[in-house]
Chain A
Amino acid sequence: MNKTRFLLLASLLASFTATASETLVVCYPGGPVNAKDANGAMSAMLRVVERVGQWQENSFTSVFATKLADCRQQMAEKKPKFAITSLGLYLELRAAHNLLPLVQPKIKGQTSEQYRVVVQKDKFKSLNELKGKTLGGTVLEEPAFIGKIVFAGQYDLANDFVLKPSNQPIRALRGLDKGELDAVILNEQQYGALAALKLENPVEAIFTSEAIPLMGVVADGANTTPEERGRFGKALAGMCSDNEGKKLCDLFGVEAFAVVNPAVFEPMAKLWGGK
């Protein structure tokens, strides 16, 4: 999920659970943002959403993490009722925390995205040719997710490639442009914005993943009631049709928050469980 959409989700989550006065865990692995900035942005949007949702202002707290280890620790310590996680973290923690997806962002009519591996044009033709070469990108903060879900278990990420994770997508792409990296893996939004970057050397995608569901807000199924989850999901689903909420949704390119059909995550869970 991209940064701004993620922060919007974080704000929404915080406000809708405000009455619980619980700490909300917000995980953004690989995100190019520090916790201070993120918390500032979340607070910013929160005030509007609180008013929209008719929750008491300033009645919640949240914690933010961009490192997987920190996310795991926060989830274990806080045991939050609701959280925002990446898909990889959801798959990893779903059993331990009884996680149930509630809503997904809908972007350009889609609730899924595809990942691509891009290289300088004509340098490599396939992932097989890339074996032993350097692979950069922000999404490499979650190597298990990339290996199991994006590459569908077809590659041993750590052994097949020389991984160069980064929290700055533009820096990874400049590295590709200069020949310092052989390939960069991009999410849908990053790939879609490539044209505006004006790189010196043309690039092309040599791998495109299957459609992978966008992750949104999850609930701890053992720590929330069906009513809480229903209320929460309904409120989020109505967010982008509210006058003030729509401004935020428009700003971040989110058309709506769609109530999740849990079945869309089952193929992901199978891939995650398979070796």
Chain B
Amino acid sequence: MRTRPLFAALLLASAAGCAVLPKDHVQFERLADCPRQTAAHLIAQQNQLGPLSDTHALACALTFLRESNDPALRRSSLGSHLCLHLAEREADPKKRDKLAAEGVAFAETALAQGGEKDGAVHYYLATNLGLAVREHITLAMKNLARLETEMKQALALSPDIDHGGPLRILGTLYLKAPAWPNGIGDRDKALELLEKVVAKHPEHPLNHLFYAQALWEEGDEDSLSQVKSEFALGEKLLGEGDWGYSRGPWKKEFDEFEQEMGEAGSGRQQPLAQARK
């Protein structure tokens, strides 16, 4: 995932209402067209279900999971993983919230059924939670500590999942959350973690983008050339890699940051163009 949802949540992007996560499920269409599934088959192919998967295939897998009591499936991260990818593709905010909330519930079930040592469970719990609360300021603020705790667990158990996702998201959490003493925001920590994830996982475009954003927030002229080079590298990786359904929202992230840089100073656009060469 990225972090688009999580990071938007941390900006406290919208309404204050809704004190709890939704509990009802999104219903999918064309379920009659779904292939026959078994728990063993789903477990075997779980690593293939992701950003490159067809949306209908994800919906079929999730529908099977909803009805399954297979203990191996229930304690795995698959349910929350599927929900996250479906939620990220969902244009309707209410359906998106429901899918993300369901992803949180799947992860909580997995933890309760013995999945607490699986970093992916913590990772997808936090990413779904970030997405589920992003439109609800009170919910977002109340869940900041939980987001941090779950992502720290993911970092400790599975630091390399999703191309350094725990470092990337934790770093962005510290970058975007309200700063001390109002919240857990901490630019020093953000810079440290995002610099680390760029070094460990230079292959992921968002690692470079978020590191560029952290450097940009410093407002330091000395960092400007590094901001531009990180941005350009991330953009290049995004353009060249096969990121499936994730590419669209990530491109939007890049475009928004580029616009922000452009608005901050007319003299900065030209060097950015040069950095792409």
Q: Which residues of A contact B187 (CB under 8 A)?
A: 168, 171
B16 touches A248 (CB 8 A): yes
Interface string of A173-209 (1 = CB under 8 A from B): 0100000000000000110110011000000000000
Q: Which residues of B contact A48 (CB under 8 A)?
A: 15-17
Q: Which residue of B lies closest to A186 (CB)?
A: B181
Q: Which residues of B contact A32 (CB under 8 A)?
A: 179, 185
- Distance in Å from the Cβ of A15 to the closest Cβ of chain B? 12
A34 CA to B213 CA, complexed, in Å:
12
B16 touches A247 (CB 8 A): yes
Q: Which residue of A lies closest to B15 (CB)?
A: A47
Q: Which of A36-44, A106-114, A267-275 contacts B (4 or more CB under 8 A)?
A: A36-44
B188 touches A169 (CB 8 A): no
A193 touches B181 (CB 8 A): yes
Secondary structure of the B contact surface, majority rule? loop
A44 touches B181 (CB 8 A): no
Q: Does A2 contact B (CB under 8 A)?
A: yes
A169 CA to B181 CA, complexed, in Å:
8
B: interface residue count bin = 20 to 34
* Contact pick for A44, options B15, B178, B182, B188, CB 8 Å: B15
A197 CA to B180 CA, complexed, in Å:
9
B14 touches A189 (CB 8 A): no
> Which 3 pairs show the lowest CB-CB distances between chains A and B?
A193-B181, A48-B16, A170-B180
28 interchain pairs, CB-CB under 8 A: A2-B181, A3-B179, A4-B178, A32-B185, A33-B178, A33-B179, A36-B260, A40-B12, A41-B11, A45-B12, A45-B16, A45-B137, A47-B14, A47-B15, A47-B16, A48-B17, A168-B187, A168-B188, A170-B186, A170-B188, A189-B181, A193-B180, A197-B180, A244-B16, A247-B19, A248-B16, A251-B137, A251-B141
Give the A-binding residues of B (Cβ under 8 A).
Answer: 11-17, 19, 137-138, 141-142, 176, 178-183, 185-188, 217, 260
Give the B-binding residues of A (Cβ under 8 A).
Answer: 2-4, 32-34, 36-37, 40-41, 43-45, 47-48, 168-171, 174, 189-190, 192-193, 196-197, 244, 247-248, 251
